[in-house]
Amino acid sequence: MLTNRPRGVNDILPGDVEKWQFIERTARDVCRRFNVSEIRTPIFEHTELFQRGVGETTDIVEKEMYTFQDRGDRSLTLRPEGTASAVRSFVENKLYAQPQPTKLFYIGPMFRYERPQSGRYRQFHQFGAEVLGVNEPSVDAEVLALVMTFFNELGLKNITLEINSVGSPASREAYRGALREHLAPVKDQLCKDCQSRFDRNPMRILDCKIDASNETVSSSPFMLDYLTDEDKTHFEQVKSYLDSFGINYVVNPRMVRGLDYYTQTAFEFIESGSTISGGGRYNGMVEQFGGPDMPGFGFGVGIERVLIALQNQEVELPIEKGIDVFLVALGEEAQKRTVTLLQELRTAGLVADKDYLGKSMKAQMKAADRLKAKQVVILGDDELAQGVANVKDMESGEQVSVPLSELVEKIQQKL
């Protein structure tokens, strides 16, 4: 137990963490350009927030939440997603009272008790954004453009954008009736959960993994055929903006998202059969949480899935490796001097390191190689007595003697 991590969670070790940092930097950079500000919400919230926000009949709420009682007997839940928290914060902090829209992004861990497999974990990480306060179809397209820009900047290609409209409540009312009528003859053959969803929320049946092979389920009518004129127009306009941005998409009328809050546009970005991002419009949530009637649109990108896609596509991220300077010391006095020299170099802004174990010259040079040092400073007791050190350029192999008083400056010039 002590040496095993829990199932479905991962350590991110040096060597990999640099990729995470690059991805996060790219996300922040793209958000800055789209003028989207960061929000940091708590990792846990009142359980009710997700029950009500994500939806009582979803797999997330029914089966996947990490819920616990705290010592004050409150029911709390580790966040399974970021939208409900962002909207809760938008309402609680009265961000709706500011000029709109409010554009927020977040990067952080989410928790779902799912069966772990490649690309599916119990603690995973999302980069997500939410745009609140505007119902403009151009905003839907703009946010999709943000996600595409993020993928492009990482060097990912061949990502399919699938879109659908799940309609507003008015459209869904008509659709639910049609769906119940279609599924009624096979209701008894459905899984237990779906039998209960039949009355409560029949659209969830379309997202059920167990009943996916049921022919009646897979030949269900399309939501798109039940859209009100207003919803239809919104969808047409989103598509037309995507066309004008040059963003390719496929309409997938079978797409059902795993969360209940969506209205109108819903979408997924797919790479090699895996959904690396999903999201859509959720126009009722702000009001549901006690705020004014304000619309919202957003996405969540799974960072682990982005890493898998980068690996699938053999994309090498431009990660800077190596250090600027490595100090090699020979002799006791020289050892001592490198301690302060190291600090001087680092204070001057250089990436510097040294040997700590009193190794041989050869072993220290090997360490410099392993760390991909650009310059190596070699300091022996004799050089120290003369107030100089040898500086070796590891690329050219050239070695020069430099007065210790000018060392930092000389190395800075060489880099």
Q: How far is CA 346 from the centre of its chain?
A: 32
Three-class SS state of 312: helix
Q: How far apart are CA 297 and CA 143, in angstroms?
A: 8
Three-class SS state of 129: strand
Tokens of 169: 């409540």
Least distance to ligand HAM from the beta carbon of 328, Å? 45
Beta bridge mates, 107: 127
For ligand HAM, which is the closer residue by CB, 121 or 241? 121
Q: How far apart are CA 77 and CA 51, in angstroms?
A: 10
For ligand HAM, which is the closer residue by CB, 283 or 338? 283
Half-sphere exposure of 327 (CA within 13 A, CB side): 30
Least distance to ligand HAM from the beta carbon of 312, Å? 14
Least distance to ligand HAM from the beta carbon of 64, Å? 8
For ligand HAM, which is the closer residue by CB, 137 or 302? 302
Least distance to ligand HAM from the beta carbon of 264, Å? 12
Least distance to ligand HAM from the beta carbon of 339, Å? 45
User: Residue 144: CB partners within 8 Å, gap ≥ 6?
Assistant: 161, 242, 247, 267, 299
Half-sphere exposure of 390 (CA within 13 A, CB side): 14
- Strand runs labelled E in 212-349: 250-251, 265-271, 274-281, 296-302, 325-330
**Residue 90 in contact with residue 132, Cβ under 8 Å?**
yes
For ligand HAM, which is the closer residue by CB, 54 or 327? 54
For ligand HAM, which is the closer residue by CB, 82 or 137? 82
Least distance to ligand HAM from the beta carbon of 318, Å? 23
Tokens of 217: 């389920």
Least distance to ligand HAM from the beta carbon of 200, Å? 20
For ligand HAM, which is the closer residue by CB, 83 or 264? 83
For ligand HAM, which is the closer residue by CB, 216 or 272? 272
Distance linking the first and last C-alpha atoms of the chain: 47
Instruction: Give the footprint of ligand HAM on this chain (CB under 6 A).
Output: 81-83, 112, 114, 119-121, 124, 126, 128, 130, 258-259, 275-280, 282, 298-300, 302, 304-305
Name residue, tokens 């820009």.
149
The letter for the amino acid at 81 is E
Helix (H) or strand (E) holding 377: strand 375-380
Tokens of 320: 């800077």
| Position with the least CB separation from ligand HAM | 302
For ligand HAM, which is the closer residue by CB, 19 or 305? 305
